[in-house]
Structure 1
């Protein structure tokens, strides 16, 4: 049974059991800071298990793409470990429980997949008599085929919260795959009994004290590894031989000219390359880019590990990207994001490969030297490993892996010390955090809540709930004091999501506060920062907040413009473009996005034009509220790293743009007035940044440019319209003058050469001419040395000149003296050192440079003695 059929059989089976079949979620977890990447079928459904959200249906089934890296070192060395895999799962949220889950699992494996019952075994948790009885009495499995395992194997829990016992289905691959011990059975560490399905019965809540309290809503969470089922159903020995993986393995075997199955170490490398490329392709397809932290680091680690094993097999150039097509062809039908991003995935992989080939070559040379110094079975100093990582970009995981292969170890403690020292330097450089000094007591505000009314009005009345002065709670502040104030109701937008905080004033009966910034605490309280301009502001005062309208209007213009830019970039550069950050202030906007190369001037002009067309069409801007799932169903763009609540705001600009956003916006695109992109630049691997202006700021930019254009035209005695033609004419004139200048310089140099012949010295026993000349560049200096060489017939020439604050030096030695052992490169290099520089070259002709023109004369005076030393 092919993998596609295994997948469809599972989903169709549970669809027939009234399950809602959902497509795979992204590998990037949404609203779950506890996870780096989705590594289980239940991970994206966690809010339904906890009751935080209501599921679309109480029964759900999925085939979820997953990435896990805890066992990365075992990938390729065992038959079943992988970083990427597909997890088939059926889930119940307070609906059916153990009996249905067990009976349906057995029905599917025996009738749907037609696995022979005499090859199947099950396990249950030690004291889970209920599950044991269902397997034995309802399913009819003999007691000797049911194994009770302990908490480590058959109880699922992660700290506090929902948990419960498990039951697993195992397939017996045969005695030849086992350890050979007479007591080999389910639970043994060998490869004989392969777990193909795990049923988790979430029936308890683990309290802080460690007590297991029964849940009122009991859930079912199951997971069947598609690749493991394929191993069984296709009768192969390991996951690398199943239908979705073997074509990749064969491809890399051909590329590396390595026959699979002949050499264990080479097989391991082939398996690592093969397995990692699947995960790499899926991660990039979901918008993850190689980086130095988080998900980006996981991707970079997998990719670089695969590249290194390619190098072990003799591949010295990028090769992984060429196999992306095989992954897309195999999986693209079920995972359309792969087919959609085919070319983009190839580009990302190729660029990272190219970068790492440079890093690998340089890093391996240094690591080889360090390992040689460490000696056999030695220890690599931690600070050396850290320098290799910090200075040369050589991953620490790769260093550890290479050390292990060479039976060396890393001084982990020393590495951690060096890493922590760098972090401390970074913390010191950053200084105070975005929320103020580190000792600011925001914890005292944790229970306070503020009603935000700023979407609809720039004024609001409320009460002063709290005041912080110098980071600590205060009951009142007076004129001249700097303070942070919390209100019960506020129209001020606190800085978040890239949008700058509002400014304005707060008025109480006792005093007035000028608000210079509004931020959010780590606990999401709105903080109004500023100074007391008159009187006293006290806790409990009635307060009226007024936002500075012009500043808010400019922010709204810039914020809506970022949405339009995002959509326009996707249209012009491709749908792979994703927002990676933004900054919206009253003065300007900044938009960071993923793209592998710089946008061309023509592409930026097209983006700008598309945005302005929507502005001039005065497209309406509307805001609606919906659940996150409803918003996604509508096609609204969501940022993976953004935290969204149950209800989200969907901001639409006509039919052009639709994004989830909590910020403030204009009511119609026409209010933006005008957009001008002023720059586009790279800010990291695969990351670009656009800076732009809108409204009055954009108008001022054009006005200033026009004024500059008029000034330039006036200086060139032309009009702005005629400037291109005028500049072209001046450039041609300038080139003619340059050529004439060069001709005259050479003529003068020739005249100077004739005068220099009288300065030849014979002090060292051979003709030596060292002189300072008036050459403006190295070309003229070389021309003079050549002429002197020809005229002298036999001799040594060292010429120096000062140009633009630097020293230029040329040395020449005639052929007869080269044969006698004199060397122009060494001579001119010694002279250069005396002027604070260096250089060298061939024995007959060489050049050098210096930094100090004041030392040129004295350096040239030493040429005779340098020639004398060379003679010795």
Structure 2
């Protein structure tokens, strides 16, 4: 049997099916496209789901893929097992061939058998097949094609060999191919009590989609039968490289050896599990970040954070004191970047996110581990860590629950899941309190009822600024009403059609006016519910408005034009950011308002002043070029093929609006835009900041608001010139001179204060009080800087070996406490403790410092009259 590399296995699989007239379809993103039922792509068929259900047509009916996939939980995929078993992974590649109404069972079995035994040269006597127990047709084909007897065809009665997409929809029996690693490995055939052993390993699964499940009890034969297959690349490579553990294949071994060269710990004993965890999680983390996922505390970002922090903890176990993950990335890119170019494109971004997250977690990891050690000191095998402690580790130290479990695994200590969930619910309840009684759920049901009765609102605003529309519903205080009579009443209005744009895709809603008979309504905002109901937020200004009547709807044209300007500028900015910062930039959120725009992007470091200038120049150049802005309706698939960018948070139908601005920008967008880029006028970035790890926020203004901004800055500059009695050409020099002079004055003042506070040894001896064999010197001073008080106190305690020096500085409504203790007596008197107790006595919350020097604050000035008594009591107790 020939030994193949991982790359050769992948290539041979794809080449084989391409030679058999299958279209090679590139891997999709790990983030499912418009599929809310999945957090991540976990198999090869996900990108073809709509093809299998008949909702989508492709220009081919046979396909082959190598699909990057991710599983971080669920049956047989618990994260805690990854690295400890032979075949558990978070990230893996699924090879697959698919037929959409072309070939079926016989040809699928032939393709699999021929590839395995002829192309990959697997011994026939090492292979077994499973079938669903009623699928006699598949059994017949296995006997015909492979020459199997009944002893090599295993009938399975459980749903493990019957696949369905859900409660309804396409479904059908499965047939799996198993490889026998040999009797030296523990395990039994599928269906036996020892089937979970590692001897017999599933290497290929074929799903025969031949039925449609109508309801729980009814299924019918499909007129178009399909094939969905999957072969795990890592498993197949292990077989072809004659190893029994996926982590022993060349791809993983190269990564593991690379790690070993850095951490200098042998890959043996318990350490080998840590190596495997890091190698697996490096792949998962890097590919997720490349596909736009950023570590966070919710959703996909939290899954990524869990994976990364588990890996970082294992790096810590190997003795790595510095961030490690980002140092491994070049090796991964070298191994997989040619097949998955997104890794190469986003390498610098992935590297910075990995490094930042590891730095952030290392700051709390050791403290969290210390707490966990303390809390489990008295626990023995089989005991349980309280849910309260597990939640504290999660909430305070950033330990995902499964990380805590992973740490305790080797000691056979469990975690109180129920207690943890109770703590989590209590926290959520505290966060939700402000929403209690809002009636939100009742209102949500209203939208479903309105949509069911009236359907979607037709939006007319792409071409019209005003239109006659029929009022179909009025809502006041979360209830449907027939009319609104009270002047200045706030309510919601829904019509059959409208020129008002409902807030979506980052663009806020229109404002304007509605006139009906003798009534007038002010529209103060426009929203969108359930994706297609446009809701006008209104105030009655005159008369009475009624359900069923027709009215004239008129938007505020100037307001809309400013929205158009800022929305079109957002598209141009997005395109320019790709050019200036790199292709890794993805949109993480946006706001298009009439006075400014806000754009959140994935980028790991601050945008420099030079980059901001370049971005502004390029955006303004595109504006000056006055490109035509065109909007075209087309199929989503065609739009993506043309290179259109899908914006963050948008849900796209089968037909989409594609907005094009010259050759600069092409995006899917349902918002409103200018006719030509020149209509924007000009563009100016007003701020750039970080809003989360790996996410930057850019704010900018356009058109008249740039002019307004420039006038404000010009006015401010003139005010500063007048204040400094100079002109703008000399202003910087004058300001620098003043700053330098201020520094000199501050130094002189500091010397003066220090001199005024300094005492000779004789003065200290004379002024200090004698308490329990030591000297106490307390002085109340004015509003002197803490730094000076600290220096003065230290100077005095260096002169006398048994001195406790206390300064209390009184500022406006606050007190500052400085305590210094001669080092010779710190074993008995602790400055930090004294300062904290004084702070609490004076209405503060405690301070901080060291045994010889500490500072704190207070605000109860009235208690200063009793400060001597407090100091005496503190020191006599000490």
TM-score, shorter chain, exceeding 0.5 = yes
Q: CA deviation at 1:332?
A: 0.9
SS of aligned partner of 2:646: coil
Cα distance in structure 1, aligned partners of 2:350 and 2:435: 35
Q: CA deviation at 1:606?
A: 2.2
Contact 2:519–2:545, Cα closer than 8 Å, also in 1 = yes
Residue 604 of structure 2 corresponds to residue 596 of structure 1 = yes
Contact 1:508–1:542, Cα closer than 8 Å, also in 2 = yes
Contact 1:462–1:490, Cα closer than 8 Å, also in 2 = yes
Residue 497 (structure 2) aligned to one of 489, 497, 502: 489
Residue 526 of structure 2 corresponds to residue 529 of structure 1 = no
Query: What residue number does 2:288 align with?
Result: 283
Contact 1:170–1:186, Cα closer than 8 Å, also in 2 = no
SS of aligned partner of 1:356: helix
Closer, same or farther: CA 153–706 of 1 in aligned 2, 3 Å = same
Q: CA deviation at 1:756?
A: 8.5
Post-superposition Cα deviations, 1:191-243, rounded to whole Å, max 9, x if no partner, equal 22221111111111112333121122211111111122211222122211112
> How many residues are matched?
866
Query: What residue number does 1:574 align with?
Result: 582
Post-superposition Cα deviations, 1:777-826, rounded to whole Å, max 9, x if no partner, equal 356556766887899999776555434555455667889x9699888887
Query: What residue number does 1:475 align with?
Result: 482
Q: CA deviation at 1:286?
A: 1.3
Cα distance in structure 1, aligned partners of 2:724 and 2:757: 35
Residue 32 (structure 2) aligned to one of 29, 32, 35: 29
SS of aligned partner of 2:377: helix
Q: CA deviation at 1:868?
A: 6.9
Closer, same or farther: CA 833–582 of 1 in aligned 2, 3 Å = closer
Cα distance in structure 2, aligned partners of 1:337 and 1:363: 35
Query: What residue number does 1:632 align with?
Result: 640
Contact 2:761–2:799, Cα closer than 8 Å, also in 1 = no
Closer, same or farther: CA 152–730 of 1 in aligned 2, 3 Å = same
SS of aligned partner of 1:721: helix
Query: What residue number does 2:53 align with?
Result: 50
Q: CA deviation at 1:257?
A: 3.6
Cα distance in structure 2, aligned partners of 1:259 and 1:852: 61
Residue 718 of structure 2 corresponds to residue 710 of structure 1 = yes
SS of aligned partner of 1:100: helix
Cα distance in structure 2, aligned partners of 1:169 and 1:18: 23
Cα distance in structure 1, aligned partners of 2:826 and 2:316: 46
Cα distance in structure 1, aligned partners of 2:540 and 2:817: 67
Contact 2:169–2:214, Cα closer than 8 Å, also in 1 = yes
Equivalent positions of 1:433-444 (< 5 A) are 438=443, 441-444=446-449
Q: CA deviation at 1:587?
A: 2.3
Cα distance in structure 1, aligned partners of 2:283 and 2:799: 71
Residue 733 of structure 2 corresponds to residue 725 of structure 1 = yes
Cα distance in structure 2, aligned partners of 1:710 and 1:270: 63
Contact 2:818–2:854, Cα closer than 8 Å, also in 1 = yes
Closer, same or farther: CA 849–477 of 1 in aligned 2, 3 Å = closer
Q: CA deviation at 1:593?
A: 0.9
Residue 81 (structure 1) aligned to one of 84, 88, 96: 88
Query: What residue number does 2:159 align with?
Result: 152
Residue 217 of structure 2 corresponds to residue 210 of structure 1 = yes
Q: CA deviation at 1:761?
A: 5.8
Query: What residue number does 1:4 align with?
Result: 7
Residue 567 of structure 2 corresponds to residue 559 of structure 1 = yes
Cα distance in structure 2, aligned partners of 1:10 and 1:456: 52
Of stretches 660-669 and 134-143 in structure 1, the one that deviates more from structure 2 is 134-143
Contact 1:30–1:641, Cα closer than 8 Å, also in 2 = no
Query: What residue number does 1:110 align with?
Result: 117
Q: CA deviation at 1:840?
A: 8.7
Query: What residue number does 1:512 align with?
Result: 520
Closer, same or farther: CA 488–779 of 1 in aligned 2, 3 Å = closer
Closer, same or farther: CA 828–280 of 1 in aligned 2, 3 Å = closer
CA RMSD of aligned residues (A): 3.3
Equivalent positions of 1:61-210 (< 5 A) are 61-69=64-72, 70=74, 71=77, 72-157=79-164, 158-179=166-187, 188-210=195-217
Cα distance in structure 2, aligned partners of 1:272 and 1:486: 55
Q: CA deviation at 1:482?
A: 3.4
Contact 1:775–1:781, Cα closer than 8 Å, also in 2 = no
Query: What residue number does 1:407 align with?
Result: 412
Closer, same or farther: CA 508–357 of 1 in aligned 2, 3 Å = same
Structure 1-normalised TM-score? 0.91
Closer, same or farther: CA 257–471 of 1 in aligned 2, 3 Å = same
Q: CA deviation at 1:64?
A: 0.6
Cα distance in structure 2, aligned partners of 1:524 and 1:819: 72
Cα distance in structure 1, aligned partners of 2:608 and 2:562: 28
Cα distance in structure 2, aligned partners of 1:73 and 1:846: 45
Query: What residue number does 2:323 align with?
Result: 318
Cα distance in structure 1, aligned partners of 2:484 and 2:575: 47
Q: CA deviation at 1:836?
A: 4.8
Post-superposition Cα deviations, 1:100-132, rounded to whole Å, max 9, x if no partner, equal 212222222222222222222212111112211
Contact 1:154–1:165, Cα closer than 8 Å, also in 2 = yes
Contact 1:440–1:472, Cα closer than 8 Å, also in 2 = no
Cα distance in structure 2, aligned partners of 1:694 and 1:756: 67
Of stretches 558-567 and 482-491 in structure 1, the one that deviates more from structure 2 is 482-491
Contact 1:777–1:808, Cα closer than 8 Å, also in 2 = no
Equivalent positions of 1:223-622 (< 5 A) are 223-260=230-267, 262-263=268-269, 265-372=270-377, 374=379, 376-430=381-435, 438=443, 441-447=446-452, 448-478=455-485, 480=487, 481-509=489-517, 511-522=519-530, 524-622=532-630
Closer, same or farther: CA 192–853 of 1 in aligned 2, 3 Å = same
Cα distance in structure 2, aligned partners of 1:529 and 1:722: 53
SS of aligned partner of 1:441: helix
Contact 1:440–1:470, Cα closer than 8 Å, also in 2 = no
Cα distance in structure 2, aligned partners of 1:114 and 1:814: 82
Q: CA deviation at 1:852?
A: 4.2
Post-superposition Cα deviations, 1:321-375, rounded to whole Å, max 9, x if no partner, equal 2111121111111111111122222211111112222222121122222223555
Cα distance in structure 1, aligned partners of 2:44 and 2:819: 73
Residue 679 of structure 2 corresponds to residue 674 of structure 1 = no
SS of aligned partner of 1:519: strand
Q: CA deviation at 1:605?
A: 2.5
Q: CA deviation at 1:185?
A: 7.2
Q: CA deviation at 1:159?
A: 2.4
Contact 1:818–1:843, Cα closer than 8 Å, also in 2 = no
Of stretches 793-802 and 241-250 in structure 1, the one that deviates more from structure 2 is 793-802
Post-superposition Cα deviations, 1:122-159, rounded to whole Å, max 9, x if no partner, equal 12111112211122235533332222212322111132
Of stretches 837-846 and 723-732 in structure 1, the one that deviates more from structure 2 is 837-846
Contact 1:807–1:856, Cα closer than 8 Å, also in 2 = no
In structure 1, the gaps of 5 or more residues are none
Contact 2:505–2:671, Cα closer than 8 Å, also in 1 = yes
Cα distance in structure 2, aligned partners of 1:831 and 1:427: 38
SS of aligned partner of 2:114: helix
Contact 2:188–2:195, Cα closer than 8 Å, also in 1 = no
Post-superposition Cα deviations, 1:839-864, rounded to whole Å, max 9, x if no partner, equal 79888877766544544454247767
Post-superposition Cα deviations, 1:383-421, rounded to whole Å, max 9, x if no partner, equal 332232123322111123333432222222222222222
Contact 1:324–1:346, Cα closer than 8 Å, also in 2 = yes
Of stretches 366-375 and 211-220 in structure 1, the one that deviates more from structure 2 is 366-375
Post-superposition Cα deviations, 1:645-683, rounded to whole Å, max 9, x if no partner, equal 111222122222221111111111221122222222211
Query: What residue number does 1:802 align with?
Result: 810
Closer, same or farther: CA 836–132 of 1 in aligned 2, 3 Å = same
In structure 2, the gaps of 5 or more residues are none
Cα distance in structure 2, aligned partners of 1:568 and 1:543: 43
Of stretches 245-254 and 826-835 in structure 1, the one that deviates more from structure 2 is 826-835
SS of aligned partner of 2:350: helix
SS of aligned partner of 1:625: strand
